[in-house]
């Protein structure tokens, strides 16, 4: 299945806005078959801005989860890449389904 890069980014953005799981979409992509890559600097910069905006959106969506985990385990320090260890009050099932 061929995916156009701009269309893929649009679909990903729509799924994130709708609160849907983007993993099935990303798993269905054959990355070596993606078409529509930028052909000049202007398009490449526009793609970079879109990718940064998606990264900011994902960060904003995970912020409430990070805050909740921090409140459940107030003495925990930050781990690598900003991660937090799960407190004992959160079950492993919650972690696996997230």
Query: Residue-wise pLDDT tens for the chain (98 aa)?
Result: 567 888 889 999 999 888 888 888 888 888 888 898 899 999 999 999 999 999 888 888 888 877 777 777 666 665 556 565 666 665 555 444 44
Tokens standing for 85? 């260890």
Q: What is the pTM of this model?
A: 0.61
Distance CA 13, CA 57 (A): 9
Q: State whether residue 4 is helix, strand or coil.
A: strand
Scan for tokens 């925990």, then name that residue.
76
Cα dihedral across residues 41, 45, 47, 48: positive or negative = positive
Q: Which residue has the tokens 């953005």?
A: 13
Say how far apart CA 84 and CA 45 lie, in whole Å: 33
């Amino acid at each position: 299945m061929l995916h156009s890069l701009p269309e893929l980014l649009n679909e990903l953005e729509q799924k994130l806005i709708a609160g849907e799981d983007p993993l099935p979409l990303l798993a269905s992509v054959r990355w070596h078959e993606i078409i529509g890559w930028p052909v000049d600097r202007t398009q490449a910069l526009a793609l970079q801005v879109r990718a940064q905006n998606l990264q900011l959106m994902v960060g904003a969506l995970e912020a409430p989860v990070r805050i909740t985990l921090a409140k459940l385990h107030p003495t925990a320090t930050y781990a690598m890449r900003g991660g937090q260890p799960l407190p004992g009050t959160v079950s492993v099932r919650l972690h696996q389904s997230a």
